[in-house]
Amino acid sequence: MAFLPTGYVIERPGQVFNVMGTVSGEPVISSDDLEVYSSESRFDVTTVSLVGNRDSTPSWVQVLIAWADPEQNVLPVSEVFPDNRSTQEIRAESTAQMEISQQDAIAAALTHLGYEVPTKLYVQSVLVDSPSSKVLVAGDIVVSAAGVLLENFDQLRSEIQKTEGDPIEIVVERDGVRKSFSITPVKKEDLWVIGSMIAYIYDFPASVSLQLGDVGGPSGGLMFTLGIIDALGEGSLAGDHHVSGTGTINASGKVGNIGGIGLKMIAAKKSGADLFLVPSGNCQEASGQVPEGLPVVSVRDLDDALAAIEQLKSGSEFSSLSCN
C-alpha cells in the first residue's frame, strides 16, 4: 500500500528569499539607469513548498506523517492540479503570475518614489470563437472603448457592461497604427464580455530588474516593492532589522490577499524574522495561526507596511494581531 498513488499533495513551509541579497551570484534588484544602494535591512519573500503533483503523488507514509504534523497541509491533488489543466500549464501560469507581480512591484515602488508610471492596456490573449476572435490579436494596445479613452481595466469593463449586448467600438493600436473595430459582447454568467484577456503594460521611466530564480506565483509583490524602495534610496529602510511578509500589490500600492498564510508565517519564524506583514484580506485566517514570538501586522497598502517598519525601527512593541 505504501507504493500506491495517494491522490494527495503536501504543502510545507517553503524557502525564504531576501530580496536585498543575491541569487546565483547576481543581485535580486538591479538597475541600468538608477543607482542601487547597499542596505543592512533584510526583506524576505516567503514561499510554500509543494510535495507531489498529478503525475507523482507522495507516498502514503509521507501523507500519514504530514497529517500528524501541524506544520504541513494535506490537500486532494485535484484541488491544486485541476483535471482540466496539465501540470505544465499550471507551472507556466505560476511563472507568468510572478513576472506580472514583479512589474506591479516596480510600478508601486517607483510611484512611491515620485516617478510617473503611465500604464497601458493590452490584449494578452483572445479566446477562440469569442466576439474578439479574428478581430483583436495578442499585443494590441487598447486605446478606447465607446469613445472613452482608457486608463484602467475597470473603465473598459464598465463601458462593456453599459452596452447590454449592443455592439461597442474598440480602438486599438497595432504596429503603431490605430484601428477601430465593432465588437458585440456576449453574456457570461452575470457579465457582458468580449472574450479577450486584458493586462497592463507599464511605461517605466527607468529600468529596474528583478530576478529570484525558480519561484512562481504573485505573492512576492509587497516584499519586492519594499526592497526596491530600500535599494533605490540611501540608508537602510528597516535599519538592521529582518522583515518578512507576503501579499500581492498593484501600482497604487494596494496589498492583496494570498494563499498559504499559515505556512508562510512558520517559514518567517524559522528564518528569524523580526516582523511579518500579512495582507488585511488574510488577517482573520492568520489570527489563529501566528507562531509564538513572531510580531505580525495586518497591512492594507504600502503606507501601512511602511508605518509598521517605522514602528519596528523605533523599538516600539507590537500588540497582538488586530483585524479591522
**Is pLDDT of 2 > 80?**
no
d(CA 256, CA 250): 8
Q: What is the pLDDT of residue 190?
A: 85
| Model confidence pLDDT, tens digit, residues 250-283 | 989 999 999 899 999 999 999 999 999 999 999 9
**Is pLDDT of 188 > 90?**
no
Residues near 51 by beta carbon (within 8 Å), at least 6 away in sequence: 9, 10, 11, 12, 58, 62, 66
Residues near 158 by beta carbon (within 8 Å), at least 6 away in sequence: none
pTM: 0.82
Mean pLDDT of 150-164: 91
Q: Tell me which of 97 and 220 has the higher pLDDT.
A: 220
Query: Out of 3-12, 203-212, 236-245, which region has the weakest mean confidence (pLDDT)?
Result: 3-12
**Is pLDDT of 114 > 70?**
yes
**Size of the chain in residues:** 324
Grid cell digits, residue 80: 491544486
Q: What is the pLDDT of residue 125?
A: 87
User: Percentage of residues in the chain with pLDDT exceeding 70?
Assistant: 97
**Is pLDDT of 92 > 70?**
yes
Q: What is the pLDDT of residue 86?
A: 72
**Is pLDDT of 1 > 80?**
no
- Beta strands 275-279 and 296-299 are parallel
3-state percent breakdown (helix, strand, coil) of the chain, nearest 5: 30, 30, 45
- Sketch out the chain's domains with CATH numbers: 8-115+206-314 (3.30.230), 119-202 (2.30.42.10)
**Is pLDDT of 249 > 90?**
yes
Mean pLDDT of 139-146: 94
**Is pLDDT of 245 > 80?**
yes
d(CA 192, CA 44): 41
Cβ–Cβ < 8 Å for 253, 279: no
Q: What is the pLDDT of residue 3?
A: 64
| Model confidence pLDDT, tens digit, residues 166-181 | 999 999 999 989 999 9
**Is pLDDT of 287 > 80?**
yes
Mean pLDDT of 67-90: 84
Q: How many CB atoms lie within 10 A of CB 85?
A: 11
What distances in angstroms separate CA 142 from CA 104, 133, 148, 176, 180, one per listed residue?
Answer: 19, 15, 11, 12, 10
**By C-alpha distance, which of 226, 166, 160, 221 is closest to 196?**
160
Q: What is the pLDDT of residue 48?
A: 92
**Is pLDDT of 81 > 70?**
yes
DSSP letter at 54? S
